[in-house]
Chains A and B, each alone.
Chain A
Amino acid sequence: MNAEEKIDFENAPATAAAAPSSESDTRAMPDNWFDDMPRRAYIPAVDLIDSDSEVLLIADVPGVPEGGVDLSIEKNILTLTATPSDGVIAGKKLEYSEYGVGEYRRSFSLSEEVDKDRISATLKDGVLRVRLPKTAPVTKKISVATA
């Protein structure tokens, strides 16, 4: 068992968010089928900080300007997509390269305790912080009748 499973906040399989669902999609392969295929994307480095009240997800997305982040939730899968500026220096040639520039994408499966309506995010200096508040645990008292 890995650490994520312990807190019910694990990586979803890479294709979970992008792959067409096989059970409902029985049509013939459309001409633009490949347009829907997941494109090459960079996996951002992520820290997860877990507390009683929330999970804080911090992702490095260097080069992504304000408005360049998209967070979507489908069922229990949170998908983070972020588009950086192209990083090209006009008029110059890329002579030596240690990093590539392209879309960042990563999916996470959320635990039941995350309140999906109260998720909030901020982006600053190429770092994305997503706050995932937890719902207060509901205690239900069950009375036991005596026979």
Chain B
Amino acid sequence: MDLFDRFVHANPLPNSGAGFPAFNIWTDEDGAVLTSELPGVAIADLDITVTGRRITLKGSRALPEAGAKFERARRERPEGSFERTFQLPYAIESGRVHAKLADGILEVVLPRAENDKPRKVSINGK
């Protein structure tokens, strides 16, 4: 086994050190966008719930070829069901959450709740 092979075997999923699926979180003052790598996952197999500060992503990935009569000579792609919860530092406006799935990337827009946003206090002079 050469170095390359050893690397591959030690890190079959180098992109998902924190569990499947891996998350990236993008933010600004209006809220957050969660992106996640979900190759081969259908929209019908995904369930997203938002409660307070938390977003939970549930789903499953079926590998259509898994049940085939063929021998799987190499097996690195994760399969089966998954569930991950991520907590943001602020409340999410659940009514305005929307998501899209394209090319195996999920994108969930999580607007910050209006009443949770920092408010500028105006000071009245005399």
Contacts and interface: CB of A to CB of B under 8 A. Distances in A.
Contacts of B103: 62-65, 84-85, 125-126
A7 B78 CA distance: 22
A96 B3 CA distance: 31
Interface in B62-118: 63, 65, 68-78, 101, 103-105, 107
Interface stretch (A18-26, A27-35, A40-48, A114-122): A40-48
A62 B73 contact: no
Contacts of A13: 2, 4
A72 B126 CA distance: 76
A146 interface: no
Interface in A79-98: 84-85, 87, 89, 91-98
A110 interface: no
Contacts of A14: 3-4
Contacts of B121: none
Contact of A47 (B25, B63, B105): B63
A55 B1 CA distance: 22
Interface of B: 1-5, 7-8, 11-18, 22-28, 32-33, 35, 37-42, 63, 65, 68-78, 101, 103-105, 107
13 contacts: A4-B74, A43-B14, A46-B74, A47-B65, A47-B75, A48-B72, A61-B39, A62-B37, A64-B103, A91-B28, A94-B24, A97-B25, A126-B103
The 3 closest A-B pairs by CB, nearest first: A126-B104, A126-B39, A62-B104
